[in-house]
Structure 1
């Protein structure tokens, strides 16, 4: 009995260290993994249709997680409500966000334009957070969010890729934006801490259950199995499907949802830089100034004067 306070202090210290890492190293790692997903996914879509590509990706993710479950034996959700919450988040992220993003890229939208549209998420979160999760969004944060939006748009304009797109691809991208915004608000209000292995397994299973039948019904499911496709799938399964999504949900639970969402303002410029390395797309000098505006806006939006 005398050791209980010491054990409790150890647990509190461990929790505090985890929260500190999620607010420092977590955002940087998430940004790199998430931003690289745009050019890498576009590369993979040259070898398979979008829903087929996603179904394969989800199936591989489920296979990896089942193997991890066999070794780790993680704790499963304790009640039907927890299962339902995981399923809803899985649908919003895997089916709506990833599914509609891949369909949009296949339909012809530029990767940088897609990155910009889905990175409007902080604006939606800033508008909806007070109603859904009770967060107040002050003037300072609104100014930071608007600066971030202007800077992100400036990067795209400087690259000369922001031009009129067909309505269909743009609507698909907006649907993806709604999906990821809904997932963050839902997770913040109703989500509960779950083992990341089991939560990811449930969510990718939901993605596979929805995407595989639609691929069989509406697509030619031929796949060109090349080393490039295999490398692309490996990255998307490990980097995007397992690590990045787990980080996103963990950071959402650890901090204010509007602050976590403002990370997405970094995505368009980061995706533009990574597209240079993966796709050979050149970033003009003027875009670096716009990127500085975006970074400044995010810093203003996420700065906590109490710390």
Structure 2
């Protein structure tokens, strides 16, 4: 095997790990940015900046653009679902007072929902051991977040209904967006197609923000740093990796990587901010990792289910 081939193979192997690490830091941007801007305004600005940067990069590299209105429209629909719907729902839920741990458990159902629908809509088939992995993933996430869930319940007593509804909307949009992207996104250029996604999502969020928010922004150092982090490593790095992984793997397999985000976030919070990481949470990290490994392992000779 040639050196370039080995480098490419290694890059493909580490891409899921890099994606999880980048995606899991999204809570940092939300934590530091939301106090200074309302959720839809914040997201609209983030996605507009990311779209402009990607469009400029596509022009500089002379990359292809979506061919015709059909391809551009499909990219726009993916953007509305994956970015405006999913991210907007999560940001609004947290801003409305829903504990981040509750939101994480809710959206962690996405891999199971994606797998169930992918079997019907995309013809994907999961083996029995992979379904076991999906179940272990849900259980592991619950174990990781159990201390936080108990603390949130003890401190707040009840969760805001509007936050729960918003989180469920995010779950449905994220699932639909993943399936749509897997079905229609393979033939859309990655850089320019993602720029179109961001443009469509930003326009929708600006419209919603104009109707529901003041759109005021406090340009503090914390807000600027949070915005830069969310635009560059998250909207450019992590999202491009997500779309690339969807091109190479199944929708259900790629979605299962989202199970690793809450455990990674818990570990990062422990290392960076000194937040408590209890033995139960550590056990949940192990269970979640085993679950994802079962989903992603080669099928071998087993019986397909679904």
Count residues with an aligned counterpart: 294
Counterpart of 1:273 in structure 2 is 267
Normalization by structure 1: what TM-score? Answer: 0.89
User: Aligned to 1:193, what secondary structure does the other structure show?
Assistant: coil
Contact 1:39 1:111 in 2 (8 A): no
After the TM superposition, which residues 17-36 of structure 1 pair with which residues of structure 2 at under 5 Å, given as runs?
21-22=11-12, 24-36=13-25
d(CA) in 2 for partners of 1:66 and 1:85? 17
Counterpart of 1:234 in structure 2 is 228
Counterpart of 2:242 in structure 1 is 248
Normalization by structure 2: what TM-score? Answer: 0.89
**Residue 191 of structure 2 corresponds to residue 197 of structure 1:** yes
Counterpart of 1:110 in structure 2 is 99
User: Aligned to 2:286, what secondary structure does the other structure show?
Assistant: helix
Counterpart of 1:68 in structure 2 is 57
Write out per-residue CA displacement over residues 180-231 of structure 1, whole angstroms, 9 at most, x where no aligned residue: 1111111222222333220121011001111112212211222111111111
**Residue 292 of structure 2 corresponds to residue 304 of structure 1:** no
After the TM superposition, which residues 1-307 of structure 1 pair with which residues of structure 2 at under 5 Å, given as runs?
21-22=11-12, 24-159=13-148, 160-161=150-151, 163=153, 164-277=158-271, 280-306=274-300
d(CA) in 2 for partners of 1:98 and 1:37? 10
Contact 2:46 2:227 in 1 (8 A): yes
Once structures 1 and 2 are overlaid, which stretch shifts more, 196-205 or 163-172? 163-172
d(CA) in 2 for partners of 1:247 and 1:221? 30
User: Aligned to 2:35, what secondary structure does the other structure show?
Assistant: coil
Contact 1:40 1:278 in 2 (8 A): no
| Stretches of 4+ aligned residues off by more than 6 angstroms | none
d(CA) in 2 for partners of 1:280 and 1:20? 33
- What's the CA shift for 1:279? 5.3
Q: Which runs of 5+ in 1 are unaligned?
A: 1-9
User: Aligned to 1:46, what secondary structure does the other structure show?
Assistant: helix
d(CA) in 2 for partners of 1:225 and 1:304? 49
